């Protein structure tokens, strides 16, 4: 029996816009934004949507306009046949990447032949933590396990900077690199972006930023109680070396390889390896380190055999600590810019990482690419692509 392979046929995303009032996409309902991306994916590939067996959607803040299975609402809004089902999932920042992994795993297992994975987050309209409604979402047993309390991601990013000895200069230099690479890559990633009205480009890139401007920003997470609890923190995380809140959506058409070829679709890459891990929920953002190691161990590859990496730039400290621990060459990491410049619509960022990773492999002729994403609660996904 021929082994089934899950392949990426095409990827489309919206421009990423500032996730606050007045952002370029903030006037749109999140269902409509995701629906327009789904329509663009169908138009680009020419596939009959009746053949789509599921739409797996990442979305983190599933409340208000993003509640009640936004994936299904967007499928219907996009005009797909009502026979096309959908599901929405939340693995925090890794939600869209997890959607892709589940879709590919379903193809490999024989559950699907043609499936869409995607994600959406409208942070201008549905702010972070709004789904908690001001309530304690942890419960007494979890509080008992961590009596000193869990911390926010900004504190975790500070703890990582302290543990790995990263200076403010290190963090700001990395942030500047992100903006410079993203600006240079604008024309190269344009084919991955579908215009939403008159919005055609990512809004967050700052081509005029500099080390001096970045150095002028104040620490974003300084807290007296946390300073007592964690005296090792030097308070170096700023709005400049962290990812901004963002609006955006994206979608990937994934197929069983022989089905794709029978339908006249051209596979671009196979999704050939998966890993998901849990890690210390206080350090929280270190998960990409064990996730990458687990992925490489499962696939029998070494770090030097990977031609390109996408490591989500939630904070500069996350990527720099990951590189220090894995030994990866930073010249192969986020070469088209990352979330510090492009933004991080939490439920959709995984699609952007995949698009940039595949674009890099195709431009360089590389074979293997790895993407990995830190996630709230101390988790991470890592996925291996193999260019076809």
CB 52 within 8 A of CB 115: yes
The active-site residue out of 27, 143, 222, 344 is 344
**Full-model pTM:** 0.98
- Sequence-separated (6 or more) residues with CB below 8 Å from residue 185: 335, 336, 337
Task: Give strand pairing partners of 315.
Answer: 242
Catalytic residue among 27, 59, 222, 374: 374
Catalytic option among 27, 59, 93, 179 = 93
Active site residue 59: no
Q: What angle do CA 334, 368, 259 make, to 5 degrees?
A: 115
* Beta carbons within 10 angstroms of residue 120's beta carbon: 33
Q: pLDDT in tens for each of the 388 residues of the chain?
A: 578 999 999 999 999 999 999 999 999 999 999 999 999 999 999 999 999 999 999 999 999 999 999 999 999 999 999 999 999 999 999 999 999 999 999 999 999 999 999 999 999 999 999 998 889 999 999 999 999 999 999 999 999 999 999 999 999 999 999 999 999 999 999 999 999 999 999 999 999 999 999 999 999 999 999 999 999 999 999 999 999 999 999 999 999 999 999 999 999 999 999 999 999 999 999 999 999 999 999 999 999 999 999 999 999 999 999 999 999 999 999 999 999 999 999 999 999 999 999 999 999 999 999 999 999 999 999 999 999 9
- Phi and psi at 80, nearest 5°, equal -65, 155
For this structure, is 344 an active site residue? yes
Helix (H) or strand (E) holding 309, with range, is strand 308-311
Give the separation between CA 16 and CA 349, rounded to whole angstroms: 9
Determine the 3-state secondary structure of 126 from DSSP.
coil
Nearest to residue 332, comparing CAs of 357, 351, 300, 349? 357
Instruction: Give the Cα separation of 181 and 205 in Å (integer).
Output: 10
The domains located in the chain, with CATH, are: 6-126+244-269 (3.40.47.10)
Helix/strand/coil for 123: coil
* CA distances for 30 relative to 24, 48, 298, 384, angstroms: 13, 24, 37, 29
**Token representation of residue 120:** 């959406």
């Amino acid at each position: 029996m021929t082994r089934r392979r899950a392949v990426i046929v095409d990827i489309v995303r919206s421009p990423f816009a500032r996730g606050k009032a007045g952002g370029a996409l903030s006037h749109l309902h999140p269902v409509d934004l995701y629906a327009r991306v789904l329509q663009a994916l169908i138009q680009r590939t020419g596939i009959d949507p009746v053949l789509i067996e599921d739409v797996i959607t990442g979305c983190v803040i599933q409340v208000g306009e993003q509640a009640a299975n936004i994936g299904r609402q967007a499928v219907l809004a996009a005009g797909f046949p009502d026979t096309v089902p959908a599901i929405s999932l939340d693995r925090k920042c890794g939600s869209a990447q997890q959607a892709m992994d589940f879709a590919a795993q379903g193809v490999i297992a024989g559950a699907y032949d043609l499936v869409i994975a995607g994600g959406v987050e409208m942070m201008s309209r549905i702010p972070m933590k709004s789904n908690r409604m001001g309530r304690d979402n942890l419960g007494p047993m979890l509080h008992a396990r961590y009596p000193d309390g869990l911390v926010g991601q900004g504190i975790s990013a500070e703890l990582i900077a302290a543990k790995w000895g990263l200076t403010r200069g290190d963090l700001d230099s990395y942030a500047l690199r992100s903006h410079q690479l993203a600006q240079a890559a604008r024309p190269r990633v344009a084919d991955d972006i579908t215009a939403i009205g008159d919005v055609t480009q990512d809004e967050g890139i700052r081509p005029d930023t500099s080390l001096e401007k970045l150095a002028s920003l104040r620490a974003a997470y300084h807290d007296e109680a946390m300073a007592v609890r964690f005296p090792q923190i030097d308070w170096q995380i700023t709005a400049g070396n962290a990812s901004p809140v963002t609006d955006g959506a994206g979608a990937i058409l994934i197929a069983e390889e022989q089905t794709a070829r029978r339908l006249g679709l051209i596979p671009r890459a196979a999704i050939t390896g998966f890993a998901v891990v849990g890690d210390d929920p206080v350090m929280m953002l270190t998960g990409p380190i064990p996730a990458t190691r687990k992925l490489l161990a499962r696939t029998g590859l070494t770090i030097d055999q990977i031609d390109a990496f996408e490591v989500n730039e939630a904070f500069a400290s996350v990527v720099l600590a990951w590189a220090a621990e894995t030994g990866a060459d930073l010249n192969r990491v986020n070469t088209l810019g990352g979330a510090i410049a492009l933004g991080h619509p939490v439920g959709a960022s995984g699609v952007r990482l995949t698009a940039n990773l595949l674009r890099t492999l195709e431009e360089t002729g590389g074979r293997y690419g790895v993407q990995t994403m830190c996630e709230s609660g101390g988790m991470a996904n890592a996925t291996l692509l193999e260019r076809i």
